Amino acid sequence: MSQPASTHSVDSQRGDIDFAPPILEADRTPLLKLENISKVFGGVRALREVKFDVMPGEVLCLAGENGCGKSTIIKIISGVYTPEPGAVMQMDGESIEGLDPARARDLGIQVIWQDLALFPEMTVAENIAFEQNLGPRPRVVNYGKMKEAARRILERLGVSIDLNRSVRSLPIAQRQIVAIARALVRDARLVFMDEPTASLSHAETEALLKIVRRLSADGIAVVFVSHRLAEVLNVCTRVTVLRDGQYVGTFPTEGMTQTRLTELMTGRTFDYEVRSTDLSAAPVVFEVQGLSRRREYRDVSFKVRKGEILGLTGRLGAGRTEVALSLFGMTRPAAGSMRIEGKALSPRSNRDAIRAGIAYVSEDRLQLGLVQQQSIGDNTVSTVLNDLLDSTQLISSRKRNALIHDWIQQLAVKIGKPDDAVSTLSGGNQQRIVLAKWLATNPKFLILDSPTVGVDVGARAGIFAIIHKLAAGGMAILLISDEIPEVYFNSDRILHMRDGRIVTEYVPGKTTMEQIERDVHA
């Protein structure tokens, strides 16, 4: 989703917007039915009297911002957590009590978490069918039987993956398929998918949604959790919305819009406006001419002016990230030139790029953007340690703490303590810390590569508010995203990249978003 021009409050408790819950057929028994589900952690109420049901073969969306209780309810259903007394949980109309993970799996309940929980050094076949070899006593592994079971499941999904490849060597889209296949080995009847498309391209997402529809056609119910609202409305028949640990309602997706669903999730009304501003007279901050790198991109040329947000979009493999890595000195182009504020630039490393005034927010926040085990504070100052040295060449606690406090305040990061691990933060707040660590370098040119991956819709608005403020202060920004609404509502100009080349330039407002989507996905 994109940055709203303004917000207006609606009912903060129930989000009373004109939608009526669907009427279920009276003669159909829900596969899963929950009522009065509450959960308290150390005096903090994470869930309050939540209810919802899932029909056999249904694809249901469980929607809500980070921290609304989605993960908690999934862990209750999968037997990880026990709900508070008074909860009602039924499977096929029969009460289920004393649920634990083993019994949940026996009932056919499977969860595919965002991190997939696969064994990277093991093969595809071993990851899919390893549970066949579990038991109270050690026994010899029957690899032939394991491969046959894995092959059958993949055929059922309509995909082909080399069973002997290690999972580590697979792209993320194929790892998702391996995780789904593993769930089906246990005769899954209800599969929860937690942000399954967060790291996938548009094409990969379409392939995954095709598999979800295939599961539904086979009578397997799927509960889909995603921040990408367009795909939610595309694949799901109903959506259950949670907000602040409370049940807002269950609504049919037919007739639902992304804007209305956002309102239900956040309790706010978002008004979207095109940002596009004519900055043709502003000084050029960053310029590339004829940039090429074998098998990655060729003849790439563009300018980014002071205070401008230049959008760069295209399908997976278009070369967007590859160009960004060269701009940041991570790879070297074979031809072409770069200039920053009129001065020639040829960075041999990211250190050269940083010294020149370039900052890069990677699309892979978990692996490249942050050190998850380290503290919020350490991540924030990691790019400017030399600036924190005192006369003894040791890091000054006073300078360090002042810098951390300043950026947490400026970017409104919601934290417990600066010494807490950065992994304790929500996706939106983690992304603010990534921004903080690069803004601390005082860059002239900021590259944002898919800055809202895995970030919920409300947090996205906050991140784009920060980006707009940076542009208003004169920073030149390159915004890379495969989500067309994201670049359309947040860029002054948009470049479309295909097969390693810039093929079209658009100005939001003068070109419709639908036209750009047609061109990109043609």
Q: Is the domain of 14 the same as that of 98?
A: yes
Q: What is the pLDDT of residue 7?
A: 38
Q: Tell me the pLDDT band of 367, cut-offs 50, 70 and 90.
A: low
CATH number of the structural domain spanning residue 348: 3.40.50.300
Q: Is the domain of 102 the same as that of 169?
A: no
Q: Is the dihedral of CA 434, 437, 440, 445 positive or negative?
A: negative
Is residue 397 included in any domain, yes or no?
no
Q: What is the pLDDT of residue 390?
A: 84
Tell which wins on pLDDT, 373 or 153.
Answer: 153
Give the residue from 49, 485, 75, 113 showing the smallest Cα distance to 262: 485
Is residue 417 included in any domain, yes or no?
no
Q: Is the domain of 142 the same as that of 217?
A: no
Q: Does position 157 have pLDDT exceeding 70, yes or no?
A: yes
Indicate the residue among 134, 152, 185 that finishes a domain.
Answer: 185
Q: Is the domain of 334 the same as that of 460?
A: yes
- Non-local (6+) Cβ contacts of 344 within 8 A are 337, 338
Q: 309-313 and 476-480 as β-strands: parallel, antiparallel, unpaired?
A: parallel
The whole-chain average pLDDT of the chain stands at 86
Is residue 374 included in any domain, yes or no?
no
Q: What is the pLDDT of residue 154?
A: 92
- Quickly tell me which residue has 């790892």 as its tokens: 175
- φ, ψ of residue 493 in degrees (nearest 5): -140, 160
* Cα pseudo-dihedral 149, 220, 127, 158, rounded to 10: 60
Q: What is the pLDDT of residue 504?
A: 96
Angle at 226 between CA 69 and CA 467, to 5 degrees: 95
Q: Is the domain of 169 the same as that of 314?
A: no
CB 70 within 8 A of CB 62: yes
Q: Does position 26 have pLDDT exceeding 50, yes or no?
A: no
Q: Is the domain of 74 the same as that of 205?
A: yes
Q: Is the domain of 323 the same as that of 447?
A: yes
Structural domain count, the chain:
3
Q: Does position 159 have pLDDT exceeding 50, yes or no?
A: yes
Is residue 425 included in any domain, yes or no?
no
Is residue 35 included in any domain, yes or no?
yes
Indicate the residue among 185, 208, 230 that finishes a domain.
Answer: 185
Tell which wins on pLDDT, 43 or 126.
Answer: 126
Q: What percent of the chain has pLDDT over 90?
A: 49
Most confident of 145-149, 175-179, 237-241: 237-241
CA 142/CA 475 separation, integer angstroms: 60
Name the DSSP class of 421. Answer: B
Is residue 369 included in any domain, yes or no?
no
pLDDT tens across 236-248, in order?
A: 999 999 988 999 9
Q: What is the pLDDT of residue 23?
A: 42
pTM, two decimal places: 0.64
Query: In this structure, which amino acid lies at residue 512?
Result: T
Tell which wins on pLDDT, 90 or 373.
Answer: 90
Q: Is the domain of 41 the same as that of 157?
A: no
Q: What is the pLDDT of residue 186?
A: 80
Is residue 127 included in any domain, yes or no?
yes
Q: Does position 27 have pLDDT exceeding 60, yes or no?
A: no
Q: Is the domain of 132 the same as that of 176?
A: yes
Q: Which residues on adjacent β-strands are paired with residue 268? A: 9
Least confident of 41-55, 189-203, 322-336, 474-488: 189-203
Q: What is the pLDDT of residue 10?
A: 39
User: Per-residue DSSP letters for 459-507?
Assistant: HHHHHHHHHHHHHHTT-EEEEE-S-HHHHHTT-SEEEEEETTEEEEEE-
Q: Tell me the pLDDT band of 18, cut-offs 50, 70 and 90.
A: very low
pLDDT tens across 178-228, in order?
A: 999 998 888 899 999 988 876 676 677 888 899 999 999 999 999 999 877
Tell which wins on pLDDT, 373 or 331.
Answer: 331
CB 378 within 8 A of CB 371: yes
Q: Is the domain of 180 the same as that of 193?
A: no
Q: Residues of 160-176 as b/e, b for ≥16 C-beta within 10 angstroms?
A: ebebeeebeebeebbbb
Give the residue from 48, 46, 52, 45 showing the smallest Cα distance to 77: 52
Task: Give the DSSP H/E element, type plus range, for residue 293.
Answer: strand 284-293
Q: What is the pLDDT of residue 143?
A: 85
Conformation bin of residue 175: beta by default, left when phi > 0, alpha when psi is -120 to 50: alpha
CB 206 within 8 A of CB 26: no
- Non-local (6+) Cβ contacts of 113 within 8 A are 194
CB 179 within 8 A of CB 209: no
Most confident of 288-292, 389-393, 412-416, 485-489: 288-292
CA 428/CA 489 separation, integer angstroms: 19
Mean pLDDT computed over 433-460? 84
Q: Is the domain of 161 the same as that of 261?
A: no
Q: Tell me the pLDDT band of 101, cut-offs 50, 70 and 90.
A: very high
Indicate the residue among 268, 301, 318 that finishes a domain.
Answer: 268
Tell which wins on pLDDT, 263 or 19.
Answer: 263
CA 508 to chain centre: 24
Q: What is the pLDDT of residue 201?
A: 65
pLDDT tens across 407-430, in order?
A: 888 888 888 889 898 888 877 788
pLDDT tens across 433-443, in order?
A: 888 888 888 89
Half-sphere exposure of 261 (CA within 13 A, CB side): 30
Q: Does position 270 have pLDDT exceeding 70, yes or no?
A: no
Most confident of 70-74, 148-152, 284-288, 466-470: 284-288
Q: Does position 370 have pLDDT exceeding 90, yes or no?
A: no
Q: Is the domain of 290 the same as that of 153?
A: no
- Structural domain including 258 reads 10-108+189-268
